[in-house]
Structure 1
Amino acid sequence: MGLIRSERAAAGILLGAAALGLVLANTAVGPALQHLMEIPVGVSSSGLELSISHWISDGLLAVFFFIVAVELRHELTVGELSSWQKALHPAIAAVCGVIAPALVYIAFTAGSGYESGWPVPTATDIAFALGVLAVFGRGLPRRIRVFLLALAVLDDLIAIIIIAVLFTSSPNLIDLGLAALAVAAFGLLSRMLHGRMRAPIAVLMVLVALLSWALVHDSGVHPTIAGVALGLVMSREPARRVTHVLEPWSNGIVLPLFAFSAALVTIPNVPLSELSASFWGILVALPVGKFVGISIGGWLGGKLGRDRGPSLSLSGALVVASLGGIGFTVSLLMNELAFRSSAEVRDEGVLAVLLGSAVSIVAGGITVALVARRYRRLHPHPAH
């Protein structure tokens, strides 16, 4: 389990799962695997009969968003985003890192009918970005990791808001209200986790969490939002213990399963000129748009928030910007939501996310390695 907690191992497992899915999808077993992922599982009369792929993206992925929400709450309350002075610089970089790729995507897709896919290239994968930094960034000062983590957490917050607002249509307010009550009950129960009643309360919390997920699903809001809400309301110390237990399962099973199922797409046998505008928009917006946006935001935030929080040198900002285009998990989810009505465009979007993220991995790895080597030469003693 300790190995799976490693950022390097988590990034490697995630990449391997996506690569395996893409390779198998384009072999003789590909059609069978794709059919398997579409098999409905559940009780149809309850409204919870989903395909295996949707159980993964709507159900298991809620565990990942729960962990993200706990980390977000920690950073907002006692961590690197606990005051507006601390949050200002990474917040400006994160916002610019969302706006720039969205504009690049829209520039490619204007008039094509695919403009609604602009959220796809706006996300940064926390696990992958930190993994690449851990692999190639030996000797870099801790403030670079702190800044990258703060930016990625804020980036995920923006992604959560986008999912909740843009990918929800005509929500059932009754189910949503009942889900809110269930979430509130979950938060209250988490503050009672002590003494002899600890075990039965923990079991009850699991049941309430499942109920809240089901209600959010039935309401029409994407059910991963339930994971976010539960992570935000859970008492701090129990939440820390739970995420410590869940993290290896998320890194070793949840995220790899999602990456594998999302990457099960057949590479289209068409000329490059016939690929959709959304493919090119995502492919360029991830490595280029994120880099430009975070670089501009990092420079602007440094000017406005100097000496008020985690700040970076120019080389540090370039490191963070080069890693920002690794979209992967959240970008794949955004792609699925944005193009759910068009399987062909969705598959092209998956390929674009994987290729754009791969370009960012290579570019980010090279940038991190070069900056780290220069830093070690200038500062031969390890930074603390």
Structure 2
Amino acid sequence: MALLRSARFPAIILLAAAVAALIVANSPLGASADAIKDTYLGIPGVFEMSVGHWIQDGLLAIFFFVVAIELQFELTAGELNSARKALQPAIAAAGGVLIPIAIYVAFAAGSDASRGWPIPTATDIAFALGVLAVFGKGLPSGIRIFLLALAILDDIVGILFIAVLFTTDVNFALLGISAVLVVIFGLLSRRLDTRARVPIAVILVVLGIATWVLVYLSGVHATIAGVALGLAFAQSPALRTRHALEPWVNGLVLPLFAFSAALVVIPMVSPAQLSPAFWGILVALPVGKMIGISLFSWISLRLANRGATPHLSFADLLAAGALGGIGFTVSLLLSELAFAGDPLVRDEATLGVLAGSGVSLVIAAVLVSLRARHFRRLAHVESDDVEVPPTSTPTGGQLA
């Protein structure tokens, strides 16, 4: 379990799941995998979804539940608990959203792919921190803290896009009932530290499932139920729950989603025949994220320090920007939602996410390694510069 809570191993599993899905989809097993993904499960005539939707709408709601708990902690007691702390990563996140959108729109304007503009705005926090852990030995903690805050703010943007842009024919009555259940869930969770914690925990699970069903039936994407419940959860039991769920999310939920989303056939066409969605995402993730995050961050740090040398250099910010280009999980979900009615463009957008995230991963690995080497060298020089006091001979003693 400790391995699944580490920063490195979950990123490796995610990458392996995506690569395995591409291999399966482009092999004789592809048709069987698609058939399993399209198989309907549930209570016939009452509540049924395909296996793919159970993963996307069901299991992924657990992932967003865990993300929301972390978000709640950071906003109340962590790195984003004041306007001063949140300002600089918020400006960086704005650059990491606006510049990729501008690049994507430049590629896709006037085509059916234009509705995919939210796709390259996401940052996969697990992947980014995994790359940082593998290649960033010796980096100052400020870079990790900055990246964590930036990725969390990116998650907020992704959640808002899912809630606002991909909601159709909302049933406000069902949505209102689900909101009431979220309030009850939050109030009841504050009683989890009493003697009645076991029955209360059971009731909370039932309330959570009921909320998820109602949100799904209301027309709002079901993952938003996970977000609402995570934000409403009392912080102390929420953090314990997050700790318990983290290995399952990292080892099962996210790899299953990555495998399901990446189960696409690579089109055997010339590059010119690929959708603008593919090219827009391929460029917007590595280039747009790196330019947007590093440039906006540098400006915000300069303004905040009023001409003083910022604690993060522009080279550090470039590394953080490259890490931000690893879109993966949320970008894959946004691809599924944006092109749900156009499987061909959806598959090419998925390939764009995988390729763009892969390019970002390589660039980030190089930049992070270089910065880590730089800081290790500085630490070595500083240790050499420390004067060692000469050994003195005691009064009256003799040298041998």
**TM-score of the two chains, using structure 2 as the length reference:** 0.93
Conserved 8 A contact 1:89-1:304: no
Query: Unaligned regions of 5+ residues in structure 1, if any?
Result: none
Aligned position for 2:326: 326
Look up the match of 2:32.
32
Is 1:103 the counterpart of 2:97 in the alignment? no
* Correspondence for 2:387: none
**Structure 1 counterpart of 2:299, one-letter code:** L
Q: Specify the SS of the correspondent of 2:45.
A: helix
Q: CA deviation at 1:346?
A: 0.5
Pairs within 5 Å for 1:3-18: 3-18=3-18
Q: CA deviation at 1:53?
A: 0.7
What secondary structure, in the 3-state scheme, does the structure 2 residue paired with 1:49 have? strand
Q: Which amino acid aligns with 1:205?
A: L
Inter-partner Cα distance in structure 1 for 2:74 and 2:97: 20
Residue type matched to 1:28 in 2?
P
For residue 244 of structure 2, what is the aligned residue in structure 1?
245
Q: Note the C-alpha offset of 1:305.
A: 2.9
Closer, same or farther: CA 311–147 of 1 in aligned 2, 3 Å: farther
| 1:161 matched residue in structure 2 | 160
Provide structure 2 residue ranges, at least 5 long, that are not aligned to the other structure: 384-400
Confirm whether residue 261 of structure 1 aligns to residue 260 of structure 2: yes
Question: 1:89, 1:311 within 8 Å by CA — same for their partners in 2?
Answer: no
Within-5 A mapping of 1:67-86: 67-86=66-85
Preserved contact between residue 136 and residue 368 of structure 1 (Cα < 8 Å): yes
Deviation at 1:44, TM superposition (A): 4.0
3-state SS in 2 of match to 1:55: helix
Give matches, 1:141-290, under 5 Å. 141-290=140-289
SS in 2 for 1:168: coil
Counterparts in 2 of 1:116-127, with a 5 A limit?
116-127=115-126
Alpha-carbon distance in structure 2 between the residues aligned to 1:279 and 1:75? 34
Answering whether residue 126 of structure 2 is matched by residue 132 of structure 1, we say: no
CA distance in 2 between partners of 1:306 and 1:231 (Å): 35
Cα distance, 1:269–1:178 mapped onto 2, change above 3 Å: same
Q: Counterpart of 1:93?
A: 92
Moved over 6 A (4+): none
Q: Which residue matches 1:42?
A: 42
Structure 1-normalised TM-score? 0.97
Q: Distance in 2 between matches of 1:230 and 1:138?
A: 36
Question: What is the distance in 2 between the residues matched to 1:128 and 1:379?
Answer: 27
> Once structures 1 and 2 are overlaid, which stretch shifts more, 291-300 or 7-16?
291-300
Please report how far the alpha carbon of residue 45 of structure 1 lies from its aligned counterpart in structure 2 after TM superposition: 2.7
Supply the distance in 2 between the matched residues of 1:211 and 1:306 (Cα, whole angstroms): 49
CA drift at 1:194: 2.5
d(CA) in 2 for partners of 1:311 and 1:220? 46
CA deviations on 1:216-272 (whole Å, 9 max, x unpaired) are: 000100000000000101000000000000000000000000000101111111111
What is the rounded CA distance, in whole Å, between the counterparts of 1:70 and 1:232 in structure 2?
Answer: 6
Structure 2: distance between partners of 1:314 and 1:272: 34
Q: How far apart are the structure 1 equivalents of 2:305 and 2:210?
A: 46
Structure 1, 292-301 or 56-65: larger mean CA deviation: 292-301
Q: CA RMSD in A?
A: 1.4
Residue type at the aligned position of 1:297: F
1:195 counterpart letter in structure 2: T
Give me the whole-angstrom Cα distance separating, in 1, the residues matched to 2:146 and 2:157: 17
Residue-by-residue CA offset, 1:302-359 (whole Å, 9 max, x unaligned): 123339xx95222221110111110000000000000000000001111110000000
Contact 1:147-1:311 at 8 Å conserved across structures: no
1:347 and 1:83 map into 2 onto residues whose CA distance is 41
